[in-house]
Amino acid sequence: MWPFSLLKKISQDPPVGQTRGDYIGCYLLGTEAPGQAGVSYVSLATTREQLQADARTYLEGFMRDHPQAADSDLAAIQALLDDLPQRLDAHLAGDMRQPLAEQGGTVLFLRTGMRARRKEQGRYLE
């Protein structure tokens, strides 16, 4: 049975921050919107600190760029910002198939996954 357990282990994404060959485990923070072709990634962070900083920058930028949004939507985003570390922890400990937040049909999701590592002149930058 060991070949099957080895195959299962190899096919799984590496833990966040850990490497496997040319790939590294990361947090996938992005948006999905109706009419949008595919997913738009906001962050592919490899640390919690980087994830939190990227999420905060994105949410604050959204509020600054969309002042015409409904007051209830802006209040929900502000509430998310106010409790961001706790909300990220709770989401990562729970069902990550559920959206982190949803506003006007646009879904903000947070999952774990992997991405290609950056390499310059034969050296990995992570």
pTM: 0.82
Quote the tokens at residue 86: 């706790």
Query: Would the pLDDT of 67 be above 70?
Result: yes
Q: What band does 6 get if pLDDT is binned at 50, 70 and 90? A: very low
What is the pLDDT, as a whole number, of residue 98? 92
33 touches 27 (CB < 8 A)? no
Q: What band does 124 get if pLDDT is binned at 50, 70 and 90? A: low
What residues contact 23, with CB distance under 8 A and at least 6 apart? Answer: 14, 114, 115, 116, 117
Give tens-digit pLDDT for 39-49.
899 999 999 99
φ and ψ at 77, to 5 degrees?
Answer: -65, -40
The secondary structure element, H or E, covering residue 42 is strand 40-43
Residue 29 has a CB neighbour count (10 Å cut-off) of 21
Quote the tokens at residue 41: 């990634």
